[in-house]
Amino acid sequence: MSIKHIDQATYNPLIAGSQMTISFTDLTADQKSGLANYFAQHNQRFITQENQDLLQITHRDLETVIADFKQNAIIATNELEAIYKDSQIFFAAGNRSFDITDKPMIHSIMNLSPESFYDGKDHNLKEYLGRIEEQIAMGISFFDIGGKSTNPKAGDMSADEEFSRMEPYLKEIRKAFPDIILSVDSNNPITIERALDHGVQVINSISGFDTPEMIGLVERYQAPVITTYNNRDKPTDNVHQSLLDYLDDQVTALKARGLKDENIILDPGVGFTSRYEGITKEEIAAEDVTKIKAIRAMADRRLPILVGVSNKSFMGTLFDREIDDRLISSLLVEYNMVMNGGRLIRVHNIEETRLLMDIFNTLAL
């Protein structure tokens, strides 16, 4: 008996409902009958042919099949387990690894910048740690901390000022919650290096890793990254292709510095769109929609993909939603992006997003 995955080049486990095709050859009559009966009972497509038998199945359902076959011994599961493992997609940081093939992961925004567009305010340390504790109880393990707003109206600040906002919080977070994954939301290499030295494991840079200073940090610390396509200051004729080309170049450069697939998160950069003189808010929103739609092509890279649309301004332009009335539109866009390959959802509204992901995990094809 031989079992092979015959469409690896075209199958994409990140796309909801995507099915792989598995070929079975040299089955005995009993094995063929047992498989046909099992898959008929479980509404799986099993096609019997003269020289081979074909199974079309999702990655999620294959996990169930392997567990069942281990119990009822219709066939040995070694080859099926190898196919399953070859299709898995992981995010790894620190000493932890997360299988995100079928189960998206929430990335909690924990701003420390009063200028932030959504929940900007001065923070109380006790209250801040309490929020993290509540979210851990909800199953959240990945938190994003930044001391400087990326809002284009907020202006810039020195690394000293930016890190001074984070430092007391980082010390207490690491002391209280040593097992969580922390990312630093910054594009200043000085700030980032200080954060890494204070226990942050992931670099979240809206400016990517194009400079010697930024790529040098990756090489020295071997820190996982979120790299963003940001064309805010770069008018672009073909946003879709420019986005894919830029992120491909980033992956090549980051792998050359030692990172692996599971250490590289791709961000299409929704909200980090053209801001040149004369551009209309409708044109900006149209670029954001192009980036949202590009996620399906990004998923062909089979790397972790960030969904970062929470409460962003294109929802105001397209759907006439004020900033405090964008929850429903945020959730619907996030769900669409997860169905098309997004796996790390960077959000403000944790409880509602967790419910959304529970629904996805229950109903996903």
Q: Mind listing the pLDDT tens digit for each residue in 249-270?
A: 999 999 999 999 999 999 999 9
Query: Do 147 and 188 belong to one domain?
Result: yes
Pair (159, 272) in one structural domain: yes
- Written as six digits, the tokens of 169 are 């919080």
Mean pLDDT value across the chain: 93
Residue 118 has pLDDT above 60, yes or no: no
More confident: 201 or 151: 201
Of residues 235 and 132, the one with the higher pLDDT is: 132
**Average pLDDT over every residue of 88-113:** 95
pLDDT score recorded for residue 270 = 97
30-38 contacts at long range (C-beta below 8 A, 24 or more positions apart): 31/1, 31/74, 31/75, 34/74, 34/75, 35/74, 35/75, 38/65, 38/68, 38/72, 38/74
Q: Are residues 50 and 117 in the same domain?
A: no
- Closest to 217 in 3D by CA, of 265, 166, 245, 258: 258
287-294, Cβ contacts within 8 angstroms, sequence gap of 24 or more: 287/231, 287/239, 288/312, 288/314, 289/314, 289/318, 290/239, 290/240, 291/229, 291/239, 291/243, 292/268, 292/333, 292/336, 292/337, 293/240, 294/239, 294/240, 294/243, 294/244, 294/268
Question: Of 52, 86, 120, at which residue does a domain stop?
Answer: 86
In this structure, the answer to whether residues 355 and 296 fall within a common structural domain is: yes
> Tens digit of pLDDT for each residue in 181-210?
999 999 999 999 999 999 999 999 999 999
State percent of the chain over pLDDT 90.
Answer: 85
317 shares a domain with 197:
yes
> Do 168 and 313 have their domain in common?
yes
Query: Among 53, 86, 119, which residue terminates a domain?
Result: 86
Query: For the chain, what is the domain count?
Result: 2
What is the per-residue pLDDT for 14?
A: 95
Q: Are residues 73 and 134 in the same domain?
A: no
Query: Is residue 109 located within the same domain as residue 73?
Result: no
Tell me the C-alpha distance between 93 and 128, whole Å: 23
Domain of residue 62 covers 2-86
Domain boundary among 86, 113, 141: 86
Over residues 306-350, the pLDDT tens digits come to: 999 999 999 999 999 999 999 999 999 999 999 999 999 999 999
Q: Are 11 and 128 within one domain?
A: no
pLDDT exceeds 70 at position 241: yes
Whether 128 and 261 share a structural domain: yes
3-state DSSP assignment of residue 203 = strand
